Structure 1
Amino acid sequence: MGETQYLAFLVGILALSTLVGLNAESPYRYYDLEITYGTVSPLGVSQRAILVNGQLPGPTMDCETNDNIIVNVINKLDEPFLMTWNGMWQRRMSWQDGVLGTNCPIPPHSNWTYRMQAKDQIGTYSYYPSTSLHRTGGGFGGFNIHRRPVIPSPYPEPAQQFTLTVGDWYKTDFKLLRKNLDLGQAMPVPDGILINGHPKNTVFTSEAGKTYMFRVANVGTMLSVNVRIQGHMLKLVEVEGSHVLQEMYESLDVHPGQSMSFLVTLHGMVKDYHIVASARFTKKHLVGRAILHYTGSTTPPADPLPVGPTYQIHWSMKQARTLRWNLTANAARPNPQGSYHYGGIQITRTLILANSAGKINGKKRYAVNQVSYVNPDTPLKLADYYNIPDVFNLNTIKDVPTPGKRLEYGTSVVGLALHDFVEIVFQNKEKTLQSWHLDGHNFFVVAYGAKKWTPAMRKKYNLVDSVWRTTVQVYPNSWTVVLAAVDNKGMWNLRSEIWHRRYLGQELYFRVWNDEKSLLSEADIPPNALKCGKAAKY
């Protein structure tokens, strides 16, 4: 071995030992998630659902920041399956992302083990299926990352924490919904709203005078929901891993794929109160209910339900602008969140991403910048790793939409350099709300606006204390701008959280790359990686 090779070997060993040491000093948590079909009837109709460990929703997964998470997913369905971790950073590990661009699906009647680390994260998240239209059939649950005892909290410790998975639900079997979409039919409006798998009567027991934390994740597939508690104010404290200014709200909008935490102090009379999650921006009156039960109460919650917003888009956008980063609170590390001055970083690339609906060969499709995404047989990450040609290229999608261009099929991958600072403009010219999620990264939501974005809008950006999150809504006939430091190397999914739109092509991938191979910037391919498509022979 020559001197240069020997030095390279030592550097590699040092990097590996650093990573191993990092993992070794953090606890390990092990989970088994068994995915099966089961029969449920939350809306009064007996139907097939996707259960996790026999439950809908699945068990809430709890850990502390920096814990190592080992999740064995056992697929007992009759078709391939993947689970994705909504909001989990997957630092250095896009191999574990659980989407078809990075993972081969878990075959029926087999299992695959995810290995992740909740690196430098504290917050409220969720998990759910990423393949086919499985998410409309269930398979979801809460995922909470707690602080370590040595990390101070910007609010007093609550007496107890409750996890609420809220979202829309269909009476129709998910396979029939999928078949109808494949035939070109439109997706119907959901039939109801569930809170923890039920449309009503889930009970959260608490004591007068104490303060409780409610962790809420919208695991639905189409509808925004408004959450409120009869006779109580909500103090928002966290949004997708970021502490926010602790404002008081009568109710909060939670859009598809989003999650947040708020505190509620029980200052009312000893009786029961309605917890309500109602659909937004739809003609259907859909409401899910639960009960806040004061210990000792013998009085059921009184009607009517607390009134919430329905169509008011301006109301929701105004509320969204009040969400601000808490600059003095620490995150998962002792330094204040506001020590990262994102407003002073030079933008290196601007992407204007316009969602669009249309038809290809007479069938309904959705697209980004006129390209409707098609999953290749070989995951993008495997193709990239093994240098397999003709799976994707970086010229399929343009940085800005092309006026007058018709929709076309393609495998959209945007090439970005590691540590680029990207301005992403989500332009929505349609009459429905959109929701977008970026795997592997958080971004700063710096502006919302009506109609069409122009460069002049940059004067209105909040470059001081915008909330740092993973999922953002784009209002009808409006735009939203986020700033993202793409500092996580890998292949990362940017997708619509309106699930039938994603199923029919409204997604793309970011290839965040540099040519330096180092375990400090990206973990190597896991030894249990599934191989499929053109990568099956490797």
Structure 2
Amino acid sequence: MALYRFLALFAVHIALLVSSCFAADPFVFYKFEVSYITASPLGVPQQVIAINGKFPGPTINVTTNNNVVVDVKNKLDESLLLHWSGIQQRRSSWQDGLLGTNCPIPPKWNWTYQFQVKDQVGSFFYFPSLHFQRASGGFGGFIINNRAIIPIPFATPDGDITILIGDWYTRNHTALRKTLDAGKGLGMPDGVLINGKGPYQYNTTLVPDGIDFETIEVHPGKTYRIRVHNVGISTSLNFRIQNHNLLLAETEGSYTVQQNYTSLDIHVGQSYSFLVTMDQNASTDYYIVASARFVNESQWKRVTGVAILHYSNSKGKARGPLPDAPDDEFDKTFSMNQARSIRWNVSASGARPNPQGSFRYGSINVTEVYVLKNKPPVMVDGKHRATLSGISFVNPSTPIRLADKYKVKGVYKLDFPTRPLTGPPRLETSVINGTYRGFMEVILQNNDTKMHTYHMSGYAFFVVGMDFGEWTENSRGTYNKWDGIARTTAQVYPGAWTSILVSLDNVGVWNIRTENLDSWYLGQETYIRVVNPEATNKTELAMPDNALFCGSLSRLQKPQDISAATAVTGNRSKLFFTSLLIMAALLSLFC
């Protein structure tokens, strides 16, 4: 029986390959084994989450409209979901990898994600979305390249470099979440990692011996596309490269008006692409720096992340003090003005040949308005919780989309308020009822004392305004209705607001949340449910055959066939994938 299943699975994969031969959208396969390993990124041995034995995980590199298949083996001791941050999952929230939409992958189970990166280009990343696991790793880059027929709005770079930055604790994710469960803050992180490694010893007092640091080798005179992602927990970071200009070219799937920065603030969950020309002399290496923003520098100096940019003909080590970050600990105006300066390149083609600006978002009538206000964590029903508009979200035991499919009642309420509640905060599974093909305005009001970034799954939204103070109806007069950047994660400064516009054309159940992992863990999120009222199978993909069941639908879940799984993990696995590669090579002769 196990052999039969193996052969059937092989036939399915061959069928996929054959279909890719005769269709325009090929399949790309990845195999992920998610497990714990011991690493010492800050010189202290600790448990981290690795993919295929590596920390960080591999970069997924695909092309627009590819069908991506990621076979995940969960070797952790707890359930797992991988979230593809910024990947819009057109018509299929079934693959989004969040607890409100998908049942988790149990320990020791395999589960296969399959989705199409439809009409998207740009720089994104993936990470584990449950149990605070991102604080222990499990993340990696995700690149979507233009199709060959669609030009990029700059000369083809000489190389492509992914850099993952983020704050880091030497306590693992289980210890950190216990701290939050006890109603305590996480405190200052122990460091900032660059590609999973600690700081270069630029200062012997601040950085001890024996820490492995990241070195990125480049060639003089060449221009590289450097994709930088803040995959951390809650710290905004300023990114800079000593003596080099950062020419901003893209952020989270949108090409930007190209302009130079000496440094740029990258907030939690955000991604940017820079074009960096290696135009300095090679007398030394150069520092790559990621340092915390809006903090007391004297206390945070030991936290700064430092890597090395090494010219292939370099004659010496990097030297001197680190390049300075903006000096505005108590005044965030410079950072906000920098954020406002990031504009959409309306004349560049995106994933399609038409200009990005052909979607004239500023002339579309808004059909629904939501003001989402956060506050510092409070006690709700005896629990330390974070809220959004007075509601602390409770993830349902039965995912929302699954409950809809099987008509399970009472799982959630479609009553999320359009304006913040005035009464006491409450614990609810309260969801926004979005209108299919509506045009929604969302005002994100940050009444917390720290920076927040907000992410929306399933969509890119237009950042049309941000300012300090309370948003009012008159604030619309300041909106940018022409070239506001389209992206998936926007910052909201403390004591300020950010306004976004989004066209609800993607059917499904989509998460909107703070990317600050501590506040997200404590409930600062909700979902937008977008349903086509017409009976049609063209606006949403069918539930996948391998969908997992949990909660009130647990009875539908069949045990995983361990014999079949075992058969495909030994020598047969090597034969299986070798056969796939051979078949792919043969098919390529005819494609």
Q: Structure 1-normalised TM-score?
A: 0.94
CA deviations 1:411-457 (Å, max 9, x no partner) are: 12101111110000001112111110000001000001101000001
**Partner SS state of residue 456, structure 1:** helix
CA contact (8 A) 2:91 2:507 kept: yes
> Which SS does the other structure have where 2:362 is aligned?
helix
Greater displacement, 312-321 / 236-245? 312-321
What runs of 5+ residues in structure 2 fail to find an aligned partner?
1-18, 200-212, 557-591
Matches within 5 A, 1:64-463: 64-200=63-199, 201-270=213-282, 271-283=284-296, 284-285=300-301, 286-309=303-326, 311=329, 312-356=331-375, 357-395=377-415, 397-403=416-422, 405-463=423-481
Answer yes or no: is the 8 Å Cα contact 2:250–2:273 preserved in 1. yes
Q: Distance in 1 between matches of 2:113 and 2:147?
A: 23
Verify the 8 A CA contact 1:126 1:142 in the aligned structure 2: yes
CA deviation string 1:353-375 (max 9, x = no partner):
00122112343210111110111
Matched to 2:496, the amino acid is S
Residue deviations 1:231-276 (CA, integer Å, cap 9, x gap): 0111000010000000110001111011010001111111311111
**Structure 1 unmatched ranges of 5 or more:** 1-19
In structure 2, give the amino acid aligned to 1:189. M
Alpha-carbon shift at residue 298 of structure 1 (Å): 2.1
**Secondary structure of the residue that 1:298 maps to in structure 2?**
coil
Contact 1:348 1:421 in 2 (8 A): yes
Asked if 1 retains the 8 angstrom alpha-carbon contact of 2:245 and 2:260, the reply is yes
- On the 8 A contact 1:23/1:68 being kept in 2, the answer is no
* Change in 2 beyond 3 A, CA 1:188/1:363: farther
Alpha-carbon deviations, 1:284-307, whole Å to 9, x = none?
A: 232111111111112111121100
Where 1:245 maps in the other structure, the secondary structure is: strand
Matched to 1:279, the amino acid is A
Q: Give the AA of the match of 2:285.
A: D
- Asked whether 1:520 is paired with 2:533, we answer no
* Higher alpha-carbon deviation: 470-479 or 187-196: 187-196
Query: Secondary structure of 1:536's partner?
Result: helix
3-state SS of 2:257 partner: coil
Matched residue type, 2:280: G
1:495 equivalent to 2:513? Answer yes
Give the drift of 1:188.
2.0
- The Cα offsets for residues 74-108 of structure 1, whole Å up to 9 and x where unpaired, read as 10011111000000010011000000111100000
Distance 1:24 1:512 in 2: 29
Paired residue for 2:210?
none
d(CA) in 2 for partners of 1:44, 1:21: 47
**Which segment is superposed worse, 176-185 or 49-58?**
176-185
Tell whether the 8 Å contact from 2:381 to 2:426 is kept in structure 1 after alignment. Answer: no
Report the Cα offset of residue 180 of structure 1: 1.8
Contact 2:131 2:173 in 1 (8 A): no
Cα distance change on mapping 1:120 and 1:445 into 2, 3 Å: same
Q: In structure 2, do the counterparts of structure 1 residues 351 and 43 end up closer, same or farther at CA, with 3 Å as the change threshold?
A: same
Q: Provide the rounded CA distance (Å) in 2 between the counterparts of 1:362 and 1:104.
A: 27
Indicate the SS of the match to 1:459. Answer: helix
Q: Tell me the amino acid that sits aligned with residue 217 of structure 1.
A: H
Is contact 1:220–1:256 with CA below 8 Å preserved after alignment?
yes
CA contact (8 A) 1:199 1:287 kept: no
Runs (4+) of structure 1 moved beyond 6 Å? 20-23
- 2:510 pairs with 1:511: no
Q: Which has the higher helix share?
A: 2
| Higher mean displacement: 278-287 or 106-115 | 278-287
Could you tell me which residue of structure 1 aligns to residue 572 of structure 2? none
1:198-221 deviation line (CA, Å, top 9, x unaligned): 123311111111111100111001
Q: For the Cα contact (< 8 Å) 1:324–1:465, is it kept in 2?
A: yes
The answer to whether the 8 Å contact 1:429/1:451 transfers is no
- Residues 365 and 22 of structure 1, relative CA distance in 2, 3 Å threshold: farther
2:436·2:507 contact (CA, 8 Å) conserved in 1?
yes
TM-score scaled by structure 2?
0.86
* Gap change, CA 1:22 and 1:66, over 3 Å in 2: farther
Shift, 1:23, TM fit? 9.3
Query: CA shift at 1:22, angstroms?
Result: 11
Q: Which residue of 1 aligns with 2:11?
A: none
Supply the distance in 2 between the matched residues of 1:402 and 1:266 (Cα, whole angstroms).
53
Equivalent of residue 493 in structure 2, options 452, 469, 475 = 475
Q: For 1:414 and 1:318, how far apart are their aligned partners in 2? A: 31
Distance (Å, rounded) in 1 between the aligned partners of 2:171 and 2:86: 28
Q: Output the CA distance in 2 between the equivalents of 1:23 and 1:381.
A: 33
**Following the alignment from structure 2 to structure 1, what is the Cα–Cα distance between the partners of residues 177 and 121?**
35
The separation in 2 between residues aligned to 1:419 and 1:23, in whole angstroms, is 32
Which amino acid in the other structure matches residue 44 of structure 1?
G
Cα deviations across residues 44-95 of structure 1 (Å, max 9, x unaligned)?
1111111111111101110011111000111001111100000001001100
What is the aligned-residue RMSD (CA, Å)? 1.3
Deviation at 1:518, TM superposition (A): 2.7
**Deviation of the 1:21 alpha carbon:** 8.7
User: Contact between 2:254 and 2:350, CA under 8 Å: does it hold in 1?
Assistant: yes
- SS of the residue corresponding to residue 119 of structure 2 reads coil
Query: What is the CA–CA distance in structure 1 between the aligned matches of 2:522 and 2:307, rounded to whole Å?
Result: 34
CA deviation profile, 1:510-531 (whole Å, cap 9, x unmatched): 0011222333210010000001
Q: Tell me how far apart the structure 2 counterparts of residues 50 and 488 of structure 1 sit (CA, whole Å).
A: 32
Deviates more, 1:197-206 or 1:80-89: 197-206
Question: 2:387 is aligned with what amino acid?
Answer: A
SS across alignment from 1:458: helix
CA contact (8 A) 1:192 1:287 kept: yes
Q: What is the alpha-carbon distance in structure 1 between the residues aligned to residue 385 and residue 445 of structure 2? A: 18
CA contact (8 A) 2:20 2:26 kept: no
Q: Residue 247 of structure 2 contacts residue 276 of structure 2 at CA under 8 Å; is this kept in 1?
A: yes
CA distance in structure 2 between the partners assigned to 1:34 and 1:21 by the alignment: 25
What is the CA–CA distance in structure 1 between the aligned matches of 2:421 and 2:103, rounded to whole Å?
A: 33
Separation (CA, whole Å) in 2 of partners of 1:41 and 1:516: 55
Alpha-carbon distance in 1 for matches of 2:553, 2:477: 47
- Supply the AA of the counterpart residue of 1:374: V
Alignment coverage as a number of residue pairs: 517
Query: CA contact under 8 A between 1:426 and 1:480: conserved in structure 2?
Result: yes
The DSSP-based 3-state class of the residue aligned with 1:491 is strand
Deviates more, 1:281-290 or 1:36-45: 281-290
CA shift at 1:153, angstroms?
Answer: 1.1
| In structure 1, C-alpha distance between the alignment counterparts of 2:56 and 2:105, rounded to whole Å | 21
Cα deviation code 1:367-416 (max 9, x no counterpart): 11111011111011100111100101112x2110123x212100121011
Q: Residue type matched to 1:229 in 2?
A: I
